[in-house]
Each structure stands twice: as structure tokens, then as C-alpha cells.
């Protein structure tokens, strides 16, 4: 576990370099009056501060968990380190939940009542929400399944024959899986709270500003989902690699004492491939979230008719 997680700083370095080379244009552009243009610019600045705070809090939480796992918890470092990405994601999304949006000021002559009952899917595609929920639920199911494969101690997996015994640890049994499942559940709750706060925040009704508001909400929803999904997928990848290594190790057997098991060898290869793919996908989601965090939701240009 430690050897895999020690690659995380290098992954973060690659992430930082990648993000710095990406273009960070806005999601969209609109024409608006001079007063509305000023309101949008102020909202974008406030959201940029929120996004930098989101990233900063997440990185601090990650650093704290890595420090605890490597220095202050040597006897239980695997469990502590395994929770680092999820803890960072939870901390970041808490910032979004506390400060979901920046209010967009309307002039007095353009104010009106917004009586439409808002739903989350008014601002983001339903498939995006469903896919994120499915990934979280699927990851929990994977950890439960891996937990049932482990030995009774919940930390290793072994194979026994009449002449020999072979074991592998750490393996994602329930000793490791229970805290991770609990963290995924907490993450899901925090994401749900953040999405509810984004949906129910006050909304302007002037057409240009309402368009900006919708883009701002979509921006915040995507950021929260990408952070959460990325952390879950990356964590799952770490443990799938360990599960695959253990299955392959046992499947190889012991010459003259334990025959190879083709099914365990095949399972090991499958889990290893799934683990490495999951880690790459998790890093990709982190890059994607970082790119979104550096974007303005919408840039408002003053209408030519009103200049």
C-alpha cells in the first residue's frame, strides 16, 4: 500500500503541470448591460476565490493524512493512507457546500420573483448525477465483494493445500474496507448536501443574469461531482491493484508443493488491469476538476446597443 501511495506526490506534480498547460476559457459568453456585466465579473471573482479555497483545503487535508499515515501511525499506516484521497475530497466538497454560489446582484428595475420550484436536473444532466451515484454505489459493492474474499482477520488472503500454505497482505478485507466504505458514504452525503445547496441558492430572474446563474450552478455541480468521483475511483484503484497482486500471487502456487490455479491467475490479471485503469481515471477526473476550478463560468460582454 505504501509503495502505491508514495506515487501520489508524483501524480500531483503531473496534475499541476497538466493543469497549468490547459486553456481555461469560460463555459460561455453572453451580452449584457453595463451594470449586469459588473455583477457577473464580481460573481466570477468570488467563485474563483471559492475554487482556490476548495483546492487548498483539499491539498491540506491530503497532506495531513499522508503525514499521519507515514509518521504518526506506523502500525496502521495502510488504513490511514487509504483514506487520504477520500478525506481530501470530503474536505474540498465541504467548502462547496458551505459556499455553493456567489450571489449575482440585480438592479432594482430588473428584480422579479422566481416562483419555479428548482430541481437539480434543471442545472445538470440527469445522466451525470445518476452516473456519479452509480460509481459510488458500485465502489461500495466492490469493497464488500473483496471483503468476502479475505481471511477472517480482514487483512490478508491465503490459499491452503494438504502440503502447503500461501498468503498475501495487505488485502482489502473488511479491516480495510469498512473505514473506506464509511468514508464513501460520508462523501456521498456531503456531495448530496452540496448539490442541494447549489440547487436551492437564490436565483436572479433577469434573462442575461439567469443564464449566467445557470452556468454558475452547472460549474459548481460538475466540480463537486468530479472531485468526489475522482477520489472514489482512485481509492478503488489502489485496492484493486493489491487484490489483483494477491490473487495472482496465490494463483502461481508453489513449485512441488502447490499447483497453479488458472482461475486465480486470471482474476489477478483482471483486477490489476481494473486497478491501474481506475487510478488513471481517478487522476484524469482530478485534472478535469482542476481545469474547471480555474475557469470562469461565464464572461459577460456589454451589449453594443447599450454602450
Dump pLDDT digits (tens) for 170-210: 788 888 899 999 999 999 999 999 998 888 877 766 666 67
- Split into its structural domains, the chain has a count of 1
Does residue 140 lie in a domain region?
yes
Does residue 158 lie in a domain region?
yes
For the chain, report the end-to-end CA distance as a whole number of angstroms.
61
Q: What percentage of the chain has pLDDT greater than the value 90? A: 22
Cα dihedral value 283, 170, 242, 161, nearest 10:
-170
251 phi and psi angles, rounded to 5 deg: -65, -25
Does residue 216 lie in a domain region?
yes
Residue 298, pLDDT score: 60
Range of the domain at 218: 23-104+122-306
Does residue 148 lie in a domain region?
yes
Does residue 13 lie in a domain region?
no
105 within 8 A of 42, measured Cβ to Cβ: yes
What are the tens digits of pLDDT across the range 113-143?
Answer: 454 566 776 777 888 889 999 999 999 999 9
Does residue 1 lie in a domain region?
no
More confidently predicted of 111 and 215: 215
Does residue 10 lie in a domain region?
no
Amino acid at each position: 500500500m505504501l509503495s502505491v501511495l508514495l506515487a501520489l506526490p508524483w501524480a500531483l506534480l503531473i496534475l499541476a503541470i497538466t493543469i497549468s498547460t490547459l486553456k481555461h476559457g469560460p463555459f460561455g459568453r453572453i451580452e449584457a448591460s453595463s451594470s449586469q456585466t459588473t455583477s457577473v465579473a464580481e460573481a466570477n471573482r468570488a467563485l474563483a476565490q471559492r475554487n482556490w479555497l476548495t483546492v487548498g483545503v483539499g491539498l491540506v487535508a491530503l497532506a495531513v493524512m499522508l503525514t499521519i499515515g507515514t509518521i504518526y501511525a506506523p502500525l496502521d499506516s495502510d488504513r490511514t493512507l487509504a483514506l487520504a484521497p477520500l478525506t481530501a475530497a470530503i474536505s474540498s466538497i465541504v467548502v462547496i457546500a458551505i459556499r455553493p454560489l456567489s450571489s449575482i446582484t440585480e438592479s432594482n428595475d430588473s428584480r422579479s420573483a422566481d416562483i419555479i420550484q428548482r430541481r437539480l436536473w434543471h442545472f445538470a444532466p440527469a445522466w451525470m448525477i445518476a452516473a456519479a451515484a452509480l460509481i459510488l454505489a458500485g465502489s461500495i459493492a466492490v469493497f464488500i465483494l473483496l471483503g468476502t474474499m479475505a481471511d477472517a482477520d480482514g487483512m490478508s488472503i491465503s490459499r491452503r493445500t494438504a502440503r502447503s500454505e500461501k498468503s498475501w497482505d495487505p488485502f482489502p478485507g473488511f479491516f480495510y474496507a469498512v473505514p473506506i466504505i464509511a468514508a464513501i458514504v460520508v462523501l456521498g452525503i456531503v456531495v448530496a448536501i452540496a448539490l442541494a445547496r447549489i440547487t436551492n441558492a437564490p436565483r436572479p430572474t433577469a434573462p442575461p443574469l439567469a443564464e449566467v446563474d445557470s452556468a454558475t450552478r452547472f460549474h459548481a455541480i460538475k466540480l463537486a461531482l468530479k472531485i468526489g468521483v475522482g477520489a472514489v475511483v482512485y481509492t478503488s484503484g489502489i485496492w484493486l491493484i493489491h487484490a489483483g497482486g494477491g490473487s495472482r500471487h496465490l494463483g502461481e502456487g508453489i513449485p512441488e508443493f502447490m499447483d497453479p490455479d488458472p482461475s486465480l491467475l486470471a482474476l489477478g490479471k483482471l483486477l490489476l488491469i481494473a486497478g491501474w485503469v481506475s487510478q488513471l481515471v481517478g487522476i484524469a477526473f482530478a485534472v478535469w476538476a482542476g481545469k474547471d476550478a480555474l475557469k470562469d463560468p461565464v464572461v459577460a460582454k456589454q451589449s453594443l446597443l447599450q454602450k
